[in-house]
Amino acid sequence: MLEHIKTFASHFFVTGDPLIYGADVSIVLTSLAIVFVLTYFKKWGWIWKEWITTVDHKKIGIMYMISTLLMLFRGGVDALLMRLQLALPNVHFLQSEHYNEIFTTHGTIMIIFMAMPFIFAMMNIVVPLQIGARDVAYPFLNAVSFWMFFLGAMLFNLSFVIGGSPDAGWVSYPPLSELPFSQGPGENFYIWGIQISGIGSLATGINFLVTILKMRTKSMKLMEMPLFTWSILATNILIIFSFPVLTVALALLFLDRFAGMHFFTMTHGGNPMMFVNLFWMWGHPEVYIVVLPAFGIFSEIVSTFSSKKIFGYKSMVISMMLISVQAYFTWVHHFFTMGSGADVNTFFAISTMLIAIPTGVKVFNWLFTMYRGRIRLTQPMLWTIAFIPTFAIGGATGVMLAVAPADYQYHNSYFLIAHFHQVLIGGVVFGMLAGMYYWFPKMFGFKLDERLGKWAFWLWNIGFYVCFMPQYALGFMGMTRRVYTYGWDMGWAPLNFISTVGAFLMGIGFIFQVWQIAYSIKHGERDLTGDPWNGRTLEWSIPSPAPLYNFAILPEVKGQDAWLLIKQEQKKDRLMKKNYEPIHMPKNSGIPFIMAVFFFIAGFGFTFEWIWMAVIGLIGVGISLLARSFQYDTDYYIPVDEIERTEKSLRRA
């Protein structure tokens, strides 16, 4: 009996690697510390009532942001481990299998579990406030979305210490992801972590599309919406039509692995290229899903800190909506070398080049907005200015990759690695960090420290160029992606070492940001006005942090930059009139969290092919849905006297 337990434990837990043992210890110590703090300060009831069961979009946005920063840390550690392995030739810091697992988890975490929730954080925190709404269209569904994302991410991250991580790359192409080549539970962790999280992402897309179209304050027309809200509208169109494709692709892959089907196995009549097509039908729209919100953020920041109306508002709107359509016609450029034929390659080469036009329009509009503007070099503006040259280089190298014949040289090389990091870090991460700095006072009521922020900014930016510029040259020198080790004779050592130094500079920049947040909690400049940046849109018309109901009185909109118009007309008092009315709000609910836990149990059961556990999880999901269907007492009204007390306390300054 004891031998059976030992055998089970050795297969269930990842063993044999000191790095994994270190992770085990850190996970246990962190978990114990959290339990101790919550118990010592008697906060279990508080965290359940105020956070776990909340349906407030602002708190959900904050939880998305905290999750994002944790995933950025985890994915960043993976990146540093890879760079250590590649810093010099013939290094054996990581075992080859562990290296394969790390580059798989790094890519998956950064795209699915870091970039996506960062967008959802900004979406939740800002969009209802910008359109003058008191909540999202479906608050309960919003909570379901977050907990599905979070538990999906936790399921995926468990693979690091339990069962073993996936090792078929973040794209998980067959046949590498089929059973003969990935026999452990790692690939199942990948499938079910993304599937569960993907349900939450799809629900968020539906929720915010309806919110933007149906929940805008009275008199706000579509062409009066802020550009960030427009970017989210375009993003949600992409989410709704692309995520079901990924869901189908992963479901078919799981059926291959679990039920012995052969959708993607060539030896039994399947076709692995079908998976590649399905994956990139989601995967390339996904690139624009993560970068379009960054475009919206930059538009808000450039206008605010140039003290000018955005140049070319209509062209910005049209270009974003064009991207939301064109993004579906570019996916084949990811596999020009796979024998699709000259006609197909030509079509997708042209479509890829064409999408650069609406993308490039925005850069010129931002530059023209800044031209002769009264520019203030705040932290959000610094990140925005840094983005422009970075993204220009990323766009230019993207057009190079779009040339099908040339792509035969660039494909699968480090030139490609440098390109997509140039776009995803210089575009998405820089954009989301700019948004975090910009709206941080609205979330928490204080600004982040400028001095520490500038240290973080310069370390990130210098590190970025030091890390990725050498990789373009390495690609031309023949270094391919997923290389585990190499010899001195290749001549790659100097550039790889420089690249590793750059990666660690970015890591130090992240540490400065963590320090900056911790320092600013006590010492940061407090926002006593609700409008610390002299903003132009409606989120700056209410106190910081925003009250539960957002707006005591719904604002009237008479054009773009609605809050600026109100200030110019000296009608700010209109938002503080005394004739309040009771405000209808949704009640908190524990069902979203409980249902997501049951999804996690079902996913864990399917991962290890324990059908009994999967059935228990699915039954729990069904019971949760049934309980919600019989839940009638789901909302309440905030009385007028409570609104008056809240407004007086928030507006004392």
The listed range with the strongest mean pLDDT (266-275, 525-534, 594-603) is: 594-603
How many C-beta neighbours within 10 Å does residue 584 have?
A: 12
Report pLDDT for 19: 81
406's tokens: 């040339």
pLDDT for 67 beyond 90: yes
Average pLDDT over residues 330-348: 93
N residues, the chain: 653
Average pLDDT over residues 342-355: 94
Give the tens place of pLDDT for each residue, 194-206: 999 999 999 999 9
Whole-model pTM? 0.96
CA distance 235 to 288: 7
Query: What is each CA distance from 257 to 153, 186, 280, 514, 575, in whole angstroms?
Result: 21, 12, 21, 41, 59
Report pLDDT for 6: 64
First vs last Cα of the chain: how many Å apart? 70
Give the tens place of pLDDT for each residue, 136-188: 999 999 999 999 999 999 999 999 899 999 999 999 999 999 999 998 899 99
CA distance 485 to 89: 6
- Name the percent of the chain in helix, strand, coil, to the closest 5: 70, 0, 25
CA distance 148 to 597: 8
Report pLDDT for 23: 85
Contact between 379 and 457 (Cβ < 8 Å): yes
Contact between 563 and 309 (Cβ < 8 Å): no
Contact between 575 and 553 (Cβ < 8 Å): yes
Element housing 256 (H / E): helix 227-259
| Among 387, 393, 385, 320, CA closest to 357 | 320
Name residue 622's amino acid. Answer: G
CA distance 206 to 201: 9
418's tokens: 């440098």
CA atoms within 13 A on the CB side of 519: 12
pLDDT for 577 beyond 90: no
13: DSSP letter: B
Task: Return the percentage of the chain with pLDDT > 70, whole number.
Answer: 96
The backbone torsions φ and ψ at residue 448, rounded to the nearest 5 degrees and listed phi first, read: -85, 145
Task: Return the percentage of the chain with pLDDT > 90, whole number.
Answer: 87
Name residue 649's amino acid. Answer: S
Give the tens place of pLDDT for each residue, 462-492: 999 999 999 999 999 999 999 999 999 999 9
pLDDT for 436 beyond 90: yes
1 versus 14: the higher-pLDDT residue is 14
Task: Find all residues with CB under 8 Å of 41, minimum gap 6, and list them.
Answer: none
